[in-house]
Amino acid sequence: MSNSHTADSLTQRLKHSQRFWASDAGKKLSEVQRACLGPVIEARTGGHSLEMTMGPSLLNLSSVPHVIEWVPSRAYARQASSLICPPSELALPDGCLDICLIHHWLEHVPDAEKTLQEAARLTADHGILVIFGFNPVGLSNLTRRLLPGRHSFPRNDTKTHSERAHWHGTSQLTQWLESVDFTVERVDYCGFYGPLFCSAKKSRCRETWEAWGRRLNVPLGESYMIQAKRQQPQAPAQRVQFGVNPAAATHSLGVARGSNRLAADRRQQHLANQSTVDHNEEPKR
10-residue mean pLDDT series, the chain (285 residues): 75 90 90 94 87 92 89 90 92 95 95 96 95 87 63 52 77 96 96 66 79 90 95 64 52 48 63 58 52
Contact, 102 vs 132, CB < 8 A?
A: yes
3-state secondary structure of 93: coil
Amino acid at 254: G
Residue 177 makes CB contacts below 8 A (sequence gap 6+) with 116, 120, 129, 183, 184, 226, 228
Which pTM value belongs to this model? Answer: 0.76
DSSP E strand stretches across 123-263: 123-134, 182-190, 223-230
| Per-residue pLDDT, 209 | 85
Cis peptide before 236 (omega within 30 of 0): no
Closest by CA position to 228, among listed 133, 118, 131: 131
Q: What is the dihedral of CA 131, 136, 142, 144, to 10 degrees?
A: 70
Looking at residue 180, what DSSP letter applies? Answer: T
| Per-residue pLDDT, 207 | 84
CA 100/CA 113 separation, integer angstroms = 15
| Per-residue pLDDT, 2 | 46
| Per-residue pLDDT, 47 | 85
| Per-residue pLDDT, 173 | 97
CA distances from 7 to 2, 52, 79, 84, 159 (A): 5, 14, 18, 9, 21
| Per-residue pLDDT, 253 | 46
